[in-house]
Structure 1
């Protein structure tokens, strides 16, 4: 029997270029990722140990209760992650320094034991893994993270101009999924202006935006299943998307 779905905020973090690090560095990066996420959640009154979270080493997916204040959640997740990454970066050499792609969406998620499914999870994977988000972070020297939000978060939260949430800090980006479906989202880089042109990567010969996570229309890695319609999360692993590339 299928489990009933419930509304959650879906929060995703992914360590940049972790696949290129050696084992010792991966261990340090995972520890630091957990510290940064825990610090961000503390700012909205949550304990990482008390919320559903899937940690697969080079990325983490967290489900957050839907009764949180959306503007406060968005503002404090961004500030908390960036502050934690700044502090952790001051303690690390370049070999152990971490940068993140992170994102926030909301929607229905079905939970059956340790398995989670839902289009909200799939769509957030697409956004965080998209080629424009990767390029924007890569081009932003000195930045600690890029934070992406879905169209619904942008329209429902960012455009409201709540305290500490500035629409001018966000740039729209467009891409095409593995299944040739056009998508877009919004991104911001704390304390850094958007890199002109990075978020709007060139279209392919047919005039389409770049695909999520690589493929024939854009450089980058392949996004397994691309999280478009059948992604599944099992505690400790994520099916429908890859982390840490």
Structure 2
């Protein structure tokens, strides 16, 4: 992205590594080394040209301005899904503080390149979404989750709500974000289930196996298959036999 004068429409994405401040110096240095590489791999896998993005590093995170001709649905859908994959691969051989878990937020609007960073309410809104209490809370409730995502109501409506992604609305929680001067509805997503899911339900598979009091203790397996798009991503599969 070349320099520009005045305000231009952009998609804003902010990310932050959870629990960064609790790490020692060596681990903080490692996170700052690995984070941009992980983000670049996700963008490349999604077919996005990250060299055109304007990036403002923030130590354990960053704010990026993405040209709108990159396509918001691809950013919301493919980039986020590949980011989850990259985090999962990174964390496979790591435990505890050595895992990298991330918060992410997206919004859009006019932004200006200013002398000390990015100027515009769209950037402020994106940062407030990233600071939302709900993102911290869901990562605390879901220790298995590598990423928690917050979409502004605007960007949710033009991508997920309009049917331009492999996500479906039911995968998101509608929340109200209140942070400093910011108070707006938004949409929360975590891999593997909606954020409102109770901790004791989080490990439950899509196809529930259980014993019913009205069937004499007969264990029945249920087959559940929901295909929302031609692409299988975003679908829920259950496997089993209707006859046990």
Equivalent residue for 2:43? 41
* Partner Cα separation in structure 2 for residue 190 and residue 71 of structure 1: 17
Moved over 6 A (4+): none
Q: Note the C-alpha offset of 1:35.
A: 2.2
What aligned pairs does 1:131-146 form with structure 2 within 5 A after superposition?
Answer: 131-146=133-148
Report how far residue 175 of structure 1 moved. Answer: 3.2
Q: SS state of the match for residue 194, structure 2?
A: coil
| Counterpart residue number, 1:218 | none
CA contact (8 A) 1:78 1:190 kept: no
Q: CA deviation at 1:163?
A: 4.2
| 2:193 is aligned with 1:195 | no
CA distance in 2, matches of 1:45, 1:196: 32
TM-score normalised according to structure 2 size: 0.74
Q: How far apart are the structure 2 equivalents of 1:48 and 1:87? A: 21
Unmatched 5+ stretches in structure 2: 200-244
Taking the TM superposition and a 5 Å limit, the aligned residue runs for 1:11-160 are: 11-112=13-114, 115-160=117-162
Distance 1:192 1:120, change over 3 A: same
Tell me how far 1:37 sits from its aligned partner: 1.0
Distance across 1 between alignment mates of 2:84 and 2:180: 31
Contact 2:48 2:70 in 1 (8 A): no
The residue aligned with 1:220 is none
Which of the pair has the greater relative contact order for Cα pairs under 8 Å at 6+ separation? 1
TM-score, normalised with respect to structure 1? 0.74
Unaligned residue ranges in structure 1 (runs of 5+): 199-245
The Cα shift of 1:67 comes to 0.9
Q: Which residue of 2 aligns with 1:185?
A: 186
Q: 1: CA distance between counterparts of 2:10 and 2:16?
A: 19
Aligned residues: 196
- The C-alpha deviation readout for 1:82-130, integer Å capped at 9, x for no partner, is 0000000013342321100001111100113553101011001111101
1: CA distance, partners of 2:51 / 2:163: 32
Aligned-pair Cα RMSD in Å: 2.1
| Aligned residues of 1:37 and 1:48 also touching (Cα < 8 A) | no
Deviations 1:194-234 (A, max 9, x none): 23479xxxxxxxxxxxxxxxxxxxxxxxxxxxxxxxxxxxx
